[in-house]
Chains A and B, each alone.
Chain A
Amino acid sequence: MKAPFSSYLQALKPGLRQLIALLRRDYDYVSALATDSRGLTVSISQRARSVSSETMTTERGVVLRLWKEGQYREYALDDFDPTAPEKAAEEIRAALEKQQALLDALGVAPYDTPALPDEEQTLFVEKETRQLPEEADVKALVEKLTALSDRGMTLSEHMLDCALRAQSTHISKLFLTEKRDLAQSYVYSEGSLSAILSRDGNTQFSYDSVSGLCGPELFEQLEGKLERVVRVGEELLDAGRIEPGEYEVITSPEVTGLIAHEAFGHGVEMDMFVKNRALGAAYLGKRVGSDLVTMHEGALCAEDVTSFAFDDEGTLAGDVTEIKDGILQTGICDALSALRLGTAPTGNGKRENFAHKAYTRMTNTIFDSGDDTLEDMIASISHGYLLEGMESGMEDPKHWGIQCIIKLGREIKDGRLTGRIVAPIIMTGYVPELLGSISMRSSDREVFGAGGCGKGYKEWVKVADGGPYLKTKARLG
């Protein structure tokens, strides 16, 4: 079935068109992004259970973007009345004039930027889904997750809790200018399961997830992950600490995705180029990785949680080859940064929600696969680790540092897994060295979309990332 576009937004459209026309009297460019996204979250553990209609991306509201004399400003509201656009126009004018008075008093000049182009364009996209979160059988879902949690508790004598979370969101967004009319509706879902185990005061946490551009039918996949999550949790109870140092490593697809995201995902967000905050700007056309490094980014690269038809500035979704055969090709760009840099936007202007600013943000960030097998990769290592499970990461585009917190490492000696586990692991290093050391890549590929991404420490959006198993060298601690 098609994910139906919001009837609320359809009803809003005539009033928004009037509002845009009213504001055009004072501003030379006006756009409106209106959102109406609904969701479902079911959380089940042994000691606490809940059902909510909220997810990270549920929202309803409108943001207006206005340009005049080189300056952009925005106004976000959630009580727009389509029968009274004059009232909203007056409220917006008054609020922005008050801000302008402060800016004028302080002698603030704008970062002079041209107006965004406005050419005729119409798009109406309703993506396929099997189910909608608002029509999900919540009773069956609660029962299913409860049964899985109960079963998880039986899989190890050390279990403290087995927690599952299922989230599904039906996104509807409308982007309007005088000449543009874009509407999209799609459903994405994500689920997670975690095992908390304890033995002799040592408490450990194991986690896995599923995600996709689909409805609550996705949650059928959780069951297949349960036994492995508990088994990894048991392994963590026996884990030792790693001897700090540089090692040959194989990154599992989840860790590969984390590297893609932190190393060159953030590193080529071109709003950072405008601020001279990214070293990548000076490396376009230059080598940043080995010949085996090719990386794509874009909403069209995969069918996952952020595979939209257009971004939050009305730019159509793209597929950018950021790195090809180790050479940095280009970055990703929001619409205003593109104007400032004299380039084209790539469909990466995203907002945490309608009330937040649009920044250059990632969508699907993925390393290309190769021809190697995981078995051959393991066999090629004399002493190193197979790294599995990502906890978190932090970017450093200015200096190309990288921090990845990884759940565990499986020791490899003389081409074989020894069965010894080390955990947790902090992987740090210099991005070109890390990517320059990539010497093997597997032929498969996985994409993960259950997490969120911040810009620095704020502005959380959905992203997905992944790739194949990669062999490289890394500093582990």
Chain B
Amino acid sequence: MLETVVEILKKSGVTAWELSAVQEEGWEFYFIRHALDQNRAKKLEEITLKVFQLSEDGASLGSASAQLPVTASRAEAEKLVADLAYRATLVKNKPYTLRGPAPAEAAEEPAIDVPAIARSFLETVRSLPETETEDVNSYELFVSAKTRRFLNSEGVDVTESWPESMLETVVNARDGEREIELYRATYAGGCDAQALREDLERSMRCGRDRLRAVPTPALGRADVLFGSKAAAELYRYFADRVNAQMVYRRMSDWELFKPIAEDIRGDKVTVKAVRELPNSSRNRRYDPEGAPIRDLTLLEESVPVHFVGNRMFSSYLGLEDSFMPTNISVSGGTHSEEELRSGAYLEAVEFSDFQVDALTGDIFGEIRLAYWHDGDTVTPVTGGSLSGSMNDFVKDMRLSAALRQYNSIRIPALTRLAGVTVTGAE
């Protein structure tokens, strides 16, 4: 089918085109406790076309895109290309050219065995040390082997395969009639059984603490220590702010080689795009537009040194050698765990949905479990919320030297922010 579409595109007379085909073979298992709710399998192919048309005066470039059903006939494909060719003339963007072929760094393609990955996940969850007071409520497992082929009118034709897994687990803890739950979504390439087991056992311990948690006190402004997955959102803020689209559309006012804030008192932040992280579901040689992915420092000591992004917005910024990052690695800071755990602070562990707005810098999160460290006492607390602005926090961040990875992002294991607004639940 793809060869037919390429032939149609070449004959269509359009200025340029892109064609992407992603094949997926997926297995899914859903459990209520450890009984099978249902099992599912799927075999899919998603074909996406994008057509570009330069205006007659060369002043603008338009594009139009669509998915082509894999069952489409030649006549349907021809009609779709003709429709896209017309629609692209209606769109007026600043002209740019598509990327030509460029070699990626050599890498060995992983062998993908979906049944073996699924088996490892299921064996791990089913062998957790459950007790009468802590157990697994339910879980859902998604394992896929994906293969993407990307072609464009400039001669790019690259194919690569990767595994993708996601395990959603709900853990219960109970004390008499009272029962609470904790939610985990684990994204990875394959199954790292040891890391998964440790994480789920940690969840069970958190569950015990949440049972005895008291309402979060109204702390006003407080230091908050992030040591869980929510911290990744703090660092995605930095990666988003150096994205070419954000910069070109003026949604980020960061400038190359200019510090992101004046008077930074705490640790400065260094962020790198990295092609590979252990067992990441986003390890790729090429981005979705066929650009080779490489290791590249984006922010060094809180100074933007490279903007990156898709071809269109990178071209507008004059970035010829750009790409869309997949994995992000943040360098460790200058502090030991002991230093970060000194004095009074709130250690935030579980949120309903912790968010950082890359445009405004606002942070939000309802607290499901935190620990209030007040001198010698440690009190588990729940309820209330955190809020504040990254525009302020970047001036006084304290980062641990030790690192921790959450699938496609590696960050300092502990991050301490000063002056976070803590709304109590009392």
Which residues on the B side are within 8 Å of A47 (C-beta)?
Answer: 248-250, 316
Which residues on the A side are within 8 Å of B357 (C-beta)?
Answer: 424
Which residue of the partner chain A has the closest CB to B1? A79
In the complex, B2 has a CB within 8 A of chain A:
no
In the complex, B288 has a CB within 8 A of chain A:
no
Which residues on the A side are within 8 Å of B70 (C-beta)?
Answer: 78-79
In the complex, B159 has a CB within 8 A of chain A:
no
Which of A54, A77, A139 sits near B43, CB closer than 8 Å?
A77
Question: When each residue 299-339 of chain B gets 1 if its CB lies under 8 Å from chain A and 0 otherwise, what string results?
Answer: 00000000000001100100000000000000000000000
The answer to whether A74 touches B65, judged by C-beta atoms less than 8 angstroms apart, is no
In the complex, B42 has a CB within 8 A of chain A:
yes
In the complex, A51 has a CB within 8 A of chain B:
yes
In the complex, A357 has a CB within 8 A of chain B:
yes
The answer to whether A50 touches B63, judged by C-beta atoms less than 8 angstroms apart, is yes
From B31-39, B101-109, B272-280, the one touching the partner chain is B31-39
CA distance A49 to B52 in the complex (A): 12
Which of B32, B40, B43, B83 sits near A111, CB closer than 8 Å?
B32
Near B by CB (< 8 A), chain A positions 49-73 give: 49-54, 58, 60-61, 71-73
Given A52-B65, A73-B40, A76-B42, A111–B253 Cβ distance below 8 Å? no
The answer to whether B312 touches A476, judged by C-beta atoms less than 8 angstroms apart, is no
The answer to whether B168 touches A458, judged by C-beta atoms less than 8 angstroms apart, is yes
The answer to whether B71 touches A109, judged by C-beta atoms less than 8 angstroms apart, is no
Given A51-B88, A399-B180, A477-B385, A75–B253 Cβ distance below 8 Å? no
Give the A-B pair count, Cβ closer than 8 A. 234
Which of A99, A196, A475 sits near B27, CB closer than 8 Å?
A99
In the complex, A428 has a CB within 8 A of chain B:
yes
CA distance A277 to B137 in the complex (A): 8
In the complex, B126 has a CB within 8 A of chain A:
yes
Which of A160, A275, A405 sits near B355, CB closer than 8 Å?
A405
From A180-188, A306-314, A369-377, A390-398, the one touching the partner chain is A390-398
CA distance A355 to B144 in the complex (A): 13
In the complex, A123 has a CB within 8 A of chain B:
no
Given A53-B67, A99-B41, A428–B36 Cβ distance below 8 Å? no
CA distance A79 to B91 in the complex (A): 32
The answer to whether B180 touches A73, judged by C-beta atoms less than 8 angstroms apart, is no
In the complex, B56 has a CB within 8 A of chain A:
no
Given A51-B91, A78-B71, A477-B384, A456–B126 Cβ distance below 8 Å? no
The answer to whether B123 touches A91, judged by C-beta atoms less than 8 angstroms apart, is no
Near A by CB (< 8 A), chain B positions 145-169 give: 166, 168
Which residues on the A side are within 8 Å of B30 (C-beta)?
Answer: 357
CA distance A78 to B47 in the complex (A): 11
Chain A contributes a number of interface residues (CB within 8 A of B) equal to 78
Which residues on the B side are within 8 Å of A98 (C-beta)?
Answer: 41, 115
Given A49-B93, A205-B359, A403–B66 Cβ distance below 8 Å? no
Given A160-B250, A196-B251, A357-B30, A106–B126 Cβ distance below 8 Å? yes
Which residues on the A side are within 8 Å of B28 (C-beta)?
Answer: 357
Which residues on the A side are within 8 Å of B29 (C-beta)?
Answer: 99, 103
Near B by CB (< 8 A), chain A positions 421-448 give: 424, 426, 428, 430
Given A95-B41, A139-B90, A274-B32, A475–B115 Cβ distance below 8 Å? no
CA distance A428 to B368 in the complex (A): 11
Question: When each residue 241-285 of chain B gets 1 if its CB lies under 8 Å from chain A and 0 otherwise, what string results?
Answer: 000010011110100000000000000000000000000000000
In the complex, A121 has a CB within 8 A of chain B:
no
Looking at chain A's contact residues, the main secondary structure is: mixed
CA distance A95 to B93 in the complex (A): 46
The answer to whether A60 touches B69, judged by C-beta atoms less than 8 angstroms apart, is yes
The answer to whether B384 touches A48, judged by C-beta atoms less than 8 angstroms apart, is no
Q: Min CB distance, B319 to chain A, in Å? A: 16
Question: When each residue 113-154 of chain B gets 1 if its CB lies under 8 Å from chain A and 0 otherwise, what string results?
Answer: 001001100110010000000000110000000000000000
The answer to whether B312 touches A108, judged by C-beta atoms less than 8 angstroms apart, is no
11 contacts between A and B (CB under 8 A): A47-B316, A49-B91, A53-B84, A91-B43, A106-B126, A142-B91, A198-B250, A204-B360, A277-B138, A336-B37, A426-B423
Add 8 more A-B contacts to A51-B62, A160-B250 (CB < 8 A).
A73-B39, A74-B41, A78-B43, A78-B69, A204-B360, A244-B387, A276-B137, A394-B352
Give the interface of B toward A (CB within 8 A): 27-32, 34-45, 62-67, 69-71, 80, 83-84, 87-88, 90-93, 115, 118-119, 122-123, 126, 137-138, 166, 168, 170, 179-181, 183, 185, 218, 220, 245, 248-251, 253, 312-313, 316, 352-353, 355, 357, 359-360, 362, 364-366, 368, 383-387, 391, 421-425
Give the interface of A toward B (CB within 8 A): 45, 47-54, 58, 60-61, 71-81, 91, 95-96, 98-100, 102-103, 105-106, 108-112, 138-139, 142, 160-161, 196, 198, 201, 203-205, 241, 244-245, 274-277, 336, 355, 357, 392, 394, 396, 398-399, 401-403, 405, 424, 426, 428, 430, 456-458, 475-477
